[in-house]
Chains A and B, each alone.
Chain A
Amino acid sequence: MRAWKAVVLINLALIVGGGWGYAVWGLRTARLERELAVARAAALAGVEREWIVEGVVRAIFPELNVLVITHGDIRDYMPAMTMGFRVTSPKIQEAVSVGDAVRFTLRGVPPNVAVTAIQKIITR
């Protein structure tokens, strides 16, 4: 074989091999990542979940059965923010007052969640 043909062949093989390998690898990785995201979402959607969250009571709306709480991060659901939560029983609202640091249980199928239990944290 002529040398220049051999060189062209080698370079073609390099380019095609590299490109093909990258494409296959890249596509495969992207597909797996998509599938993983879908699987994660499916695993979480429509399932009742429960979190224990810490926060501060900011306002109480007895007529609406709502507590407004400045809370920390709620895993896989909501970042830290000030937010109104429904309570399952009026007793929960009666147990706390504005300014209390609390640890509360949040339960439900997102976005339909409610505070099921609450307890004050004794701050130093």
Chain B
Amino acid sequence: MYALGLIARWVHLTSSLFLVGASAMIVIAGPSDRSTARRWEHRILSSARGLAVVAFASGLVVLGVQTALFEGRAAAALEVGAIGRVLVETQTGRVWLVRFAFLVMLAAFLLLRLSVERRADWRAARGEVALLGAAALVPIAAAGHAAAVDPDTARAIAFDGLHVVVAGVWVGGLLPLALLLRTAATSEGADARPYAVLAARRFSRLALGAMVMLAVTGALLATIHVGSVAGFVGTSYGRLLLAKLVLLGIALLLAAVNRTVLLARLAGDGPTVGRPAMRRLSGFVVAEGLLALAILAVVAALSVTPPARHEAPVWPFGIRLSVAALEGATAEATRTLIGSQIAVLGLVAMIAGVILRTWRLPLVALALVALGAGAGLALPPLAIDAYPTTYLRPSVPYQAASIASGAALYRESCAACHGSEGAGDGLAGLALPRPPADLRAPHTAQHTAGDLFWWLTNGIPAAGMPGFGARFTEEQRWDLINFLRALSAGYAARGMEPSVELGRRWLVAPDFTFAVGPTPPRALKEYRGRVVLLVLYHLPGARPRMSQLAGREGTLAALGAEVIAVPTDAAPDAIRRLGAEPRVLFPIVTQGATAIVTAYGLFAGSPHAEFLIDRQGYIRAIAQSRGEAAELETLLAQIQELNQEKTPAEAPPEEHVH
């Protein structure tokens, strides 16, 4: 089924692109009164008729395979009812419906016997074929990966639509052009030779523009669907894309030879001049066309492969390059700076070499040397050890529940060596070949979450750290990593002031879910856009403060601030314990309190703590006390400051560790 779907996609894509390109080729070549040129035109048009049928039929097969996938059973591919449902009820189906309609119209139009003796008629008739072909092709963008991009779906679809139609002009034009050149190169077809030369020149110019468009839209689509180097080299989508680029590179090389060498040799009007060049050009164009067919096969495979952005990349190299390696290493930073400047010089020389004609060879040689030397100088200091999982994205979000279960695992299996506080001072660690790492150290860009995942899974043999891949599930390992992040963030948060520092957001508030009594659970994330005062309280010590907050609840509400109070003893009857007076009406967490207390306890060690969380989900101030009543006006003023603070355009904190 998979192979059938793939082949059908390839056939469909090829025939659809050909319909666009062949008709565009006829239009750009223009009308001719030479009999050979006319015969060529009719041959192309009659093959277009056949290809419209092929595109329709292969489209039906693709649709059938798609239906089987949607329904989850192979037999559905042959059921009219199931296919009908897909056609009417899914976006993909509706797109197919529109495309089928245009294909039918195209085939019908090709069957019309219109008289095209006059120029205007010819242009209108042939242009209409190209137009209907493009109309049948472009909507395919709305049924592919681009339609699943979120946000900016429309932008992705527009890029993709442009990409396919431009690809159609290039790919579909190659074989008709080759046919024209070959016919014109024979002695019988000599009358069409000037026409063929003209067509080749026009196509060459158009194809150059098409290539630039393809490169631009392709690069934009790659950033949308792949987005990272790891995605390129570490996922099947990325590798397929690399294969496509390699094939495209060869095709471009051929195209460059065609354009610069062979096209120029076509010049000359004599019946014998340029004939061998024409035949050779025809052969080269066929080769380019075959490469294009191979590229389309890769594209068909890409269309059924999940985009790299949604896959976990497997990093294939032992190192990665990152400027983070230069942190605190002055000598290396200087070396990289000098190397990069040499490389820039090389780049300038390369550009100059390409533009200038007289000094080309020495300049390009100089450029290559400079680029090589610059890279050799600049890159080695940037190398950081990397592992297959380096760019793996955590499958468990940075949430209080995950941090809490990570904390339990840590106490059980890690504290013996790394110490109960994570300082690397556990008793069992003394005997190890290398002292255990201080886990409170700031979370640096030199270690990705994926690196930690690798060390946790496989251990660090040289340091005596065992691997826990067999003992902990994948989820448990991510829990531990989330805990480690909270631990080092919490260590840094010890110095956080009880008053807000405007414009400085760095401490992400771990998300949590909570419930008040039997009401449905809510998440902290749902409060984005409002300031939240998270209160970790303990009775009876915090009774004065709680009464104070309850008394000013109206003011807090008027400022748009939400109070969420969490009893540190996680008592299920916490609301009753607060009593009937004073009336506390803000949410008192009765479910989910344990995880919140464990996670947020890492950020503050006091019996009573108040976290001021801004509208974007960052902890901005931590007030630690014993729960005694304190001045409230300052707090209210700070909430108002946070309300008025300009929010940065950058996205709110990600829910995953980096």
Report, as a range, how many residues of chain A touch the other chain: 20 to 34
Interface status of B330 (Cβ within 8 A of chain A): no
Q: Is the CB of B125 within 8 A of A3?
A: yes
Instruction: Write the B511-533 contact mask toward A (1 if CB under 8 angstroms, else 0).
Output: 00000111110100000000000
Cβ distance A18 to chain B, nearest Cβ, rounded Å? 10
Interface status of B152 (Cβ within 8 A of chain A): no
Interface status of A119 (Cβ within 8 A of chain B): no
Interface status of B462 (Cβ within 8 A of chain A): no
Q: Is the CB of B120 within 8 A of A4?
A: yes
Question: Which chain B residues numbered 486 to 527 have a C-beta less than 8 Å away from chain A?
Answer: 516-520, 522
Q: Is the CB of B114 within 8 A of A70?
A: no
Interface status of B124 (Cβ within 8 A of chain A): yes
Q: Is the CB of B587 within 8 A of A97?
A: no
Q: Is the CB of B519 within 8 A of A72?
A: yes
Q: Is the CB of B517 within 8 A of A101?
A: yes
The stretch of A23-31, A40-48, A55-63, A108-116 in contact with B is: A55-63
Complex alpha-carbon distance, A58 and B588, angstroms: 10
Q: Is the CB of B575 within 8 A of A56?
A: yes
Main secondary structure of the interface of B (DSSP, over half): loop
Interface status of A10 (Cβ within 8 A of chain B): yes
Cβ distance B285 to chain A, nearest Cβ, rounded Å? 30
Question: Which chain A residues numbered 32 to 88 have a C-beta less than 8 Å away from chain B?
Answer: 54-56, 58-60, 68, 70-73, 80, 82
Cβ distance A20 to chain B, nearest Cβ, rounded Å? 15
Interface status of A91 (Cβ within 8 A of chain B): no
Q: Is the CB of A100 within 8 A of B576?
A: yes
Interface status of A95 (Cβ within 8 A of chain B): no
Q: Is the CB of A59 within 8 A of B583?
A: yes
Q: Is the CB of A101 within 8 A of B579?
A: no
Instruction: Write the B418-461 contact mask toward A (1 if CB under 8 angstroms, else 0).
Output: 00000000000000000000000000000000000000000000
* Known A-B contacts A56-B519, A73-B520; A3 and B116 likewise in contact (beta carbons under 8 Å): yes
Interface size, chain B (Cβ < 8 Å): 37
Q: Is the CB of A7 within 8 A of B128?
A: yes
Q: Is the CB of B121 within 8 A of A58?
A: no
Which residue of B122, B124, B518 is within 8 Å of A56 (Cβ)?
Answer: B518
Q: Is the CB of A58 within 8 A of B575?
A: yes
Complex alpha-carbon distance, A8 and B518, angstroms: 67
Q: Is the CB of B585 within 8 A of A6?
A: no
> A4, A6, A103: which has the most chain B beta carbons within 10 Å?
A4
Instruction: Write the B122-138 contact mask toward A (1 if CB under 8 angstroms, else 0).
Output: 11110110010000000
Interface status of B159 (Cβ within 8 A of chain A): no
Q: Is the CB of A99 within 8 A of B585?
A: no
Chain B residues with CB under 8 Å of A4's CB are: 120-121, 123-125
Chain B residues with CB under 8 Å of A6's CB are: 112, 114, 124
Complex alpha-carbon distance, A103 and B576, angstroms: 17
Chain A residues with CB under 8 Å of B116's CB are: 3
Question: Which chain B residues numbered 102 to 125 have a C-beta less than 8 Å away from chain A?
Answer: 105, 109, 112, 114-116, 118, 120-125
- Closest B residue by C-beta to A103: B518
Interface status of A12 (Cβ within 8 A of chain B): no
Which residue of A2, A7, A80 is within 8 Å of B519 (Cβ)?
Answer: A80
Q: Is the CB of A55 within 8 A of B127?
A: no
Chain A residues with CB under 8 Å of B573's CB are: 99
Closest 4 CB pairs of A and B: A99-B576, A56-B517, A3-B121, A4-B124
CB pairs A–B below 8 angstroms (9 shown)? A56-B517, A58-B583, A60-B580, A70-B519, A71-B519, A98-B580, A99-B575, A99-B576, A123-B518
Extra pairs beyond A56-B516, A70-B516, A123-B518 (7, CB < 8 Å): A4-B125, A7-B125, A10-B105, A10-B109, A54-B519, A68-B583, A80-B522
